[in-house]
Structure 1
Amino acid sequence: MLPTDRFKRGDFEWRASRSSFFAGFHASLAAYAHAGNNLIVEHILDTEGWHETLQRQLAPFDVYFVAIHCPLPVLIERERARGDRALGSARQDYETIHAGKHYDLEIQSEDGIEYNTEIVLNGWRSGRRVSDFSRPI
């Protein structure tokens, strides 16, 4: 569990802790999968090397890699409403986050949760895997 209140108070510095936090988080995903758990993970792969690290750690498992696209104005409004992100990070992520990645499925957030849930489940059930996670490293 991330001690967000302690980061806000200044007890810890997020920049100094971020790398080790996410290394542990990524390793925990593989550990949960190795223990027999099925996972649904929402994660923005915004840091160099994370994608490749997860490909290696999750190589023994059936990974269905889905991109969720959201209109930039919606992302900017969410960023403003949250108030806990650097302004402009939504635009930066929008312009870079999907670059160079190959997904099993790409969906649009504005299509709605019920529709997207059905599309994701049908795609997962099909057994068709074409993403970066289905290729040997």
Structure 2
Amino acid sequence: MAGQIIILNGAPRSGKSSIARVIQESFDGAWMNLGVDSYEQITPPRLRPGIGLRPGGERPDLEDFVRHFYAALYESIAAHSRLELNVVVDVGHHDGYSKPLGILADCARQLAGLPVLFVGVRCPIEVIMERRAASEPDRAYVTASPGDPVPSPVRLWQEEVHKPGTYDLEVDTSLLSPQDCAGAIEQRLTGAPQPSAFQTLAQLPIDGQ
């Protein structure tokens, strides 16, 4: 039997990593975390942030690599699942690059036939800004000012990461603790099996076609 795959999709500082840790610590079975932070550690420094590249097209020199990075990541996710290992993945999917890539549809196709729960991790941008200011006080692009209360990179993440917004389940980390979010996910998994939203996403066009 294939291992369960849980994909947590949301903007940075939305709380995905905290939910992933709770899943690893409290869910039955072996849960491998193959998310964006783990993947960055194996990405050559000159090609970082890799799959963590922000929306806006600020690094067009990396965009050709991003599709390959995601393809490799999702091949690994599929391989783990086929070997009966459960996988939790925290990512920030978007196609807000300087050219359309259709990466989410590609990833969905790679997991065809495997059990996938696609979870949208939402958080109001005001809370995102508070968390960023607390965790990255020296990062200029996350610092609010009267003339720029929400810096463009942060706003773009919030706008792009939940497109098209097709999920099996959504949680709001401004209202729920990581434990509560994980509990909602576990409850969803114990229900009657349903077609994954990833089956719908696999039909999205590639490269804007």
TM over 0.5: yes
How far the C-alpha of 1:20 sits from its partner, in A, is 2.8
Is the 8 Å Cα contact of residues 68 and 106 (structure 1) preserved in structure 2? yes
1:2 and 2:56 matched:
no
How far the C-alpha of 1:22 sits from its partner, in A, is 2.5
Alignment root-mean-square deviation, CA = 2.8
Query: What is the 5 A alignment of 1:27-46?
Result: 27-46=75-94
How far the C-alpha of 1:63 sits from its partner, in A, is 0.5
For residues 25-81 of structure 1, the C-alpha deviation after alignment (integer angstroms, 9 at most, x for no partner) is 222212222222211111111134222112111111111111010110222344454
1:72 and 2:125 matched:
yes
Q: Whole-Å Cα distance in 2 between the matches of residues 3 and 84 of structure 1? A: 24
- Unpaired segments ≥5 residues, structure 1: none
SS at match of 1:102: coil
1:97 and 2:138 matched:
no
Work out the percentage of aligned pairs sharing the same amino acid: 23
Q: Whole-Å Cα distance in 2 between the matches of residues 46 and 126 of structure 1? A: 29
Is the 8 Å Cα contact of residues 101 and 132 (structure 1) preserved in structure 2? no
Q: Whole-Å Cα distance in 1 between the matches of residues 141 and 109 of structure 2? A: 30
- Amino acid aligned to 1:97: V
- Amino acid aligned to 1:21: F
SS at match of 1:36: coil
Q: Whole-Å Cα distance in 1 between the matches of residues 92 and 170 of structure 2? A: 14
Change (3 A) 1:26 1:132: same
More helix by share: 1
For residues 79-137 of structure 1, the C-alpha deviation after alignment (integer angstroms, 9 at most, x for no partner) is 45433978532211212221223111110012111211111100111134354224474
More strand by share: 2
Query: Which TM-score applies when normalising by structure 1?
Result: 0.77
Number of the residue aligned with 1:129: 194
Query: Which TM-score applies when normalising by structure 2?
Result: 0.53
- Unpaired segments ≥5 residues, structure 2: 1-41, 49-58, 96-100, 143-150, 204-209
